[in-house]
A and B are shown apart, each in its own frame.
Chain A
């Protein structure tokens, strides 16, 4: 038994850090591999060695200038599509989520509890369960293969994810609302002028989650877009690059593309990071 408390603490800390370092390496190695190999010059597809022998920016340049000579692969277009879809669904879903949460948190109306329960139950079904139904509904409206369809899918159900921001609104004292009401403010004014400015963290959280959705969603986009290559998003576009017809030419561009996709999300995260943690934890407190 080691007597010295200090030594014991050092050993314990050492072991803990060692474990954390190992876990950290395991977690980050795929990303490092991805980034390194997106700069690889040699080989066509995967290579045996871990560290590239020749480095180049060519994969990135090719990705955006369409070298590879193939009209079907148009990464800049896909990137733009995704960006547009992400912006629109982000705006629509943020507004709708916050409004729904506010209504459930502040207003008292009959069937409020029931609506919340329905929302909970609907939220329990995984999104892809209704995929086929969504496809045929969109087809009936003549929207399959369009970006509008994607925006509709990503943002129209967003209101169901009200739980976290409702939790956050519940923590804002009702006394504020009452004071505003006495001063003559309507419910609408209270929401925009009083509650929203106080809820930055949760707004940021909602913006982030709804912005990331379109970048990472694969199945829904795949089934809606079908063979309409011009309207592909990055997720299905990148998968297309790995298809048998393309993989030999586009594997390295695929790696580069995967890195590029991370850029807008990362930028947004960096910008909004300081609110993010606050938002996640604040919403978890049940009021």
Chain B
């Protein structure tokens, strides 16, 4: 009896497992179908962020869901009202739901058919979304216009095997240095030594999250070990670099950290704003997404600059960071693929990008908005732009990058680490690269 029961149970379990697979397979089928459909219907190119009604095809009474990060929800709602006005002949029912960009890919992969039709996400989620086939490429007729109206870098990063997969939205997804300008002067902020000395003098902290690979990769990148895309099997590639020089740079970092123990603190970036508010933090490295809260905490004392330089053997080396972009993507299993493409095109268009820059301080990817004075006169966006020139692009990143990089950071800031020990530093660097490439 027990045996029969066991067989029954096993049968039920396998059945459920297959049911799960079935669902997944179906959704990916429909998505490839719909994306090709949306390509066909738009035969000729467009040259503005609003298009001819012909592009809608047969679609009317359109029902769409949009995911926007929480801070942008209200603005996106206004923009959608404008969108409806622009296409007043069609009926729309568009809902905007707050969804953090960092989880966008995860939520899409959970169940694409229940996810948003139009969603924004950062560039590092590209491979995940494309591999899973849940994202529809930019409609063919729109590609040329999107490629020419946005900055070359963002388009390049959004193109995988000659297909542009999403509409560039921002050109600012990176970190820079924020400081309290009563503690750190503009001159101090140019060098890491100057910044740390100023913070120490005022008895305040310099916050850098050395334990998080996203920030800690700065150590390796500055040392010369920059990433260079992926190999065919998905292993992270690195550029050729001079190991002796890299070791020296890492030693310089470790020495500086040791010299300014108590000032240089490795804490989560959320502590930067908190530290500014209660006056314990003098400067820190934080991302564009926290600009608003940092500004609110500091008020007039807010200062922004690109990451500082570090002195290695008498030579000032610029810190190199990780830098990415944000995109607006279209769900491959959307029921209204053409309308979703048209909405994404609109939201990623010049006017909408300009509004987001003005109201939210997001750095635009649109070339025209980039020339606008809201961008050129913003100290934060200038700092981000300057840092972007010294950065590695956050696309084609192997998932194995983050942990070893965080480990490298943690080791360098640890109390027991000896900056003078070149051999140990060399081994640490070699191990880190090995672990990232998963050869360990």
Contact = CB atoms under 8 A, between A and B. Distances in A.
A binds B: yes
B192 to A, nearest CB: 24
A133 B73 contact: no
Contact of B73 (A71, A121, A244): A71
B297 A44 contact: yes
A223 B114 CA distance: 11
B162 interface: no
Nearest to A245: B70
A29 interface: no
A122 to B, nearest CB: 8
A133 to B, nearest CB: 4
A282 interface: no
Interface string B1-38: 11001000100000010011001000000000000000
A248 B293 CA distance: 7
A42 B20 contact: no
Contacts of B1: 114
Nearest to A130: B16
Interface string B342-383: 000000000000000000000000000000000000000000
Contacts of B298: none
A114 B2 CA distance: 9
Given A133-B20, A144-B114, A248-B293, A227 B274 contact: no
A47 B100 contact: no
B19 A46 contact: no
Contacts of A130: 16
Given A70-B70, A139-B114, A244-B289, A227 B273 contact: no
Majority SS of interface residues in chain A?
loop
Given A226-B114, A245-B100, A132 B107 contact: no
Nearest to A230: B97
Contacts of B23: 136
B114 A229 contact: no
A130 B20 CA distance: 10
A136 B16 CA distance: 10
Interface string A239-266: 0000111111100000000000000000
A227 B70 contact: no
Given A245-B71, A248-B270, A227 B97 contact: yes
A243 B100 contact: yes
A72 B290 contact: no
Contacts of B9: 121
A43 interface: yes
A135 interface: yes
Given A72-B98, A136-B23, A245-B100, A45 B270 contact: yes
Interface string A155-183: 00000000000000000000000000000
B375 to A, nearest CB: 23
A227 B67 contact: yes
B271 interface: yes
A112 to B, nearest CB: 13
A232 B23 CA distance: 25
A39 to B, nearest CB: 16
A139 B278 contact: no
A155 to B, nearest CB: 21
A117 interface: yes
| A44, A46, A226, most chain B CB atoms within 10 A | A44
Interface residues of B, number: 37
Interface string B65-77: 0010111011000
A46 B99 CA distance: 24
Contacts of A44: 270, 273-274, 277, 293, 297
A227 B107 contact: yes
A226 B111 contact: yes
Interface string A30-63: 0000000000001111111000000000000000
Contacts of B297: 44
Given A70-B70, A133-B19, A226 B274 contact: no
A226 B98 CA distance: 11
Given A42-B278, A226-B107, A243-B100, A117 B70 contact: no
B116 interface: yes
A58 to B, nearest CB: 15
B116 to A, nearest CB: 7
B102 A121 contact: no
A43 B111 contact: no
Contacts of A227: 67, 97, 99, 107, 115-116
A246 B270 CA distance: 11
B322 to A, nearest CB: 16
Contact of B70 (A47, A72, A132, A144): A72
A229 B97 contact: yes
Interface in B212-261: none
A46 B69 contact: no
Nearest to A248: B293
A80 interface: no
B5 A121 contact: yes
B41 interface: no
A44 B290 CA distance: 13
Given A48-B280, A226-B111, A227-B107, A247 B270 contact: yes
Contacts of B19: 133, 136
16 contacts: A46-B271, A46-B274, A47-B274, A130-B16, A133-B16, A133-B20, A135-B111, A139-B114, A226-B110, A226-B115, A229-B97, A243-B100, A244-B100, A245-B71, A245-B98, A246-B70
Given A136-B19, A226-B110, 20 more contacts: A43-B278, A45-B270, A71-B74, A72-B70, A72-B73, A72-B98, A114-B5, A117-B2, A117-B5, A118-B5, A132-B20, A133-B20, A227-B107, A227-B116, A229-B98, A245-B71, A245-B100, A245-B289, A248-B270, A248-B290
Interface of A: 42-48, 70-72, 114, 117-118, 121, 130, 132-133, 135-136, 139, 144-145, 223, 226-229, 243-249
